[in-house]
Amino acid sequence: MNRGGWHPKLTTWVDRVDARWHQLGLDATQRRQLRLELVADLSQARLDGAPLDELLAVDPDRFAADVAVGVGFDPPPDGSGDVAAPQRAAREPAAWRLVIADGASVARVAGAGLFGSVVGGVCGLALLLPAIGWVQNDRRMSYHTQGAVMLVIYATAALLAALGGALAVASDCTERSARRVVRRRAFIGLIVSGIAATLVTVSFASATGYSNAAPVVVTELGMVIGVCALGLCLVAMSIRRSRHG
């Protein structure tokens, strides 16, 4: 086993501990704090040479129950049992609480992605403004060439927007080791949903005769945001599925 660094298997182990905390009924804020502390401690243990197989040998369910008791979560009526034995039976959280918790985390990913995309898109356009000005003022360029260059510029701005969104989603991820995967999935999700949003919106714009009336523009904006948010939700759900099985 390799020594000295974080290992993806530890992320899986921490996920199981977290899932057990969830089952026990610890709220999201408490779980997030406990998880951060556990990840920091495990990282330090690994840096100091703790063998990976020894850490992974710890039963995550039992560990989660013991930590929950340690933080004062529904302490047992008596102190009987083994030192590290689970002190109480697991209490299954109500289904609606799980749905709300899942919905909240998916919404957070979508919110972070949209915010990052807007920031990335605005920054991208600001950087590309001189190029846009150059294309529009260059009279030697044919109409078709001008269109092609503008398409490249807007595609670059879209890529920067997707990159901004992906970075924002990944920055919300607590484990450094998982950030790359999250970033990649969010980036691909934003590109795909961006293309879908463009197709839907352009079709709508074409149907309205490319109207620039305020209600039409607002609807088009809503379509872009809605389709991108839907894409981000699907990304968030796929990440959750792959992490929790």
Residues forming the site for another protein (CB under 8 A)? 37-38, 40-41, 44-45, 47-48, 50, 54-55, 57-59, 62-63, 66-67, 69-72, 79, 82-84
Taking the complex as a whole, the smallest distance from the CB of residue 38 to another protein amounts, in Å, to 7
- The torsion defined by the Cα of 137, 143, 147 and 149, in degrees rounded to 10, comes to -60
Per-residue exposure over 146-168, b if at least 16 CB sit within 10 Å of its own CB, e if not: eeebeeebeeebbbbbbbbbbbb
65 vs 197 by CB, closer to another protein? 65
Taking the complex as a whole, the smallest distance from the CB of residue 21 to another protein amounts, in Å, to 12
**How many angstroms separate the CA atoms of 134 and 145, rounded?**
13
63 vs 154 by CB, closer to another protein? 63
Taking the complex as a whole, the smallest distance from the CB of residue 83 to another protein amounts, in Å, to 5
45 vs 200 by CB, closer to another protein? 45
Taking the complex as a whole, the smallest distance from the CB of residue 121 to another protein amounts, in Å, to 33
58 vs 217 by CB, closer to another protein? 58
Side chain identity at 114, as an amino acid letter? L
57 vs 89 by CB, closer to another protein? 57
**How many angstroms separate the CA atoms of 67 and 168, rounded?**
31
CB atoms within 10 A of CB 92: 11
91 CB-contact burial (10 Å; exposed 0-12 / middle 13-18 / buried 19+): exposed
Taking the complex as a whole, the smallest distance from the CB of residue 88 to another protein amounts, in Å, to 13
Category of 49 on φ-ψ map: left (φ > 0), alpha (ψ -120 to 50) or beta: left
